[in-house]
Structure 1
Amino acid sequence: MAPSEKDARREARRRAAHRRVEPDAAPAGETAIRSDPIRVTADLTPELYRHLGRHASRAAEEMDLPRVPSVDLVRAWIRVSDDPLVWDKVIKELRRAKQ
């Protein structure tokens, strides 16, 4: 990206942020659109990490691939969590983990 493009995008973001603090401003999601991926990190216990690895190995075997990266597995789980049955299980696990 050329420096002038970068400056123009930075200025557009600055103006959008300023508009959000004005009275009757639109929510941030309606004024700013993020196109870059967002990095998320998680600390897993050794047990959960091994569990994730077993799932990735199992997926690779079922798909006849040499390997399935853990991140691809997590992305797929997030996508299928829209299924109400899966979502109910997620909520139950979250509640169990909070106790």
Structure 2
Amino acid sequence: KKLRGIDVEACDKMLDSMLTTAASNDDFSLSSLVNVMKLEVFVFYQEWKDAIDLVRKAGNVRLFLPSFFVSVRYTFLEALTYLKAAESASGWKKRQMKKCA
């Protein structure tokens, strides 16, 4: 990220402020879209641990996504996250993550 000249902290603060605003207004569709955007960033930069934490914390966001395309995209990213996280896990945790994918 540093090589590409991206200010990571500013982007994280922006997404976190959008998520805070959505939570304070009880806007579940906006919070689910922000979670999808954050998941896309984590997958793009291959930060699998952060991505799996986000997936588990966000819960089932498919209920609040506005379109079918975004829902399918989230499902793909979620499965990819579980599969990549399972590669670094071992034992029963690996089997559990593959089952979730």
TM class by shorter-chain length? Answer: 0.3 to 0.5
Relative CO higher for 1 or 2, CA cutoff 8 Å, sep ≥ 6? 2
Provide the TM-score with structure 2 as the length reference: 0.32
When Rg is computed on C-alpha atoms for both structures, the one with the higher figure is 1
Provide the TM-score with structure 1 as the length reference: 0.32
Structure with more of its chain in helix, by fraction:
2
